Amino acid sequence: MRILAASQVAPHAHLLLFLVSSGDHAIAWLQSDLAQFFEVFSGELPSALERVLGNQVHDVKPRWAKGTAHRVARLLSDHIDELERKDALMGDIFEVAEGGHRG
Question: CB within 8 A of 7, min separation 6: which ones?
Answer: 31
pLDDT at residue 102 in the model: 46
Residue ranges per structural domain of the chain:
1-60, 61-103
Helix (H, G, I), strand (E, B) or coil at 100: helix
Closest-CA residue to 45 (of 60, 32, 26, 31): 60
Q: What pLDDT was estimated at residue 47?
A: 96
User: What pLDDT sits at residue 10?
Assistant: 66
**In the predicted model, what is the mean pLDDT of the chain?**
83
Express each pLDDT in 11-27 by its tens digit: 777 677 777 776 777 77
The residue ranking higher by pLDDT, 43 or 52, is 52
Would the pLDDT of 42 be above 50?
A: yes
Burial class (CB in 10 A: 0-12, 13-18, 19+), 43: middle
- E strands, the chain, are none
- Which helix (H) or strand (E) is 32 found in, with range? none
Reported as a pLDDT band with limits 50, 70 and 90, residue 77 is very high
Question: Which of the two residues, 54 and 42, has the higher pLDDT score?
Answer: 54
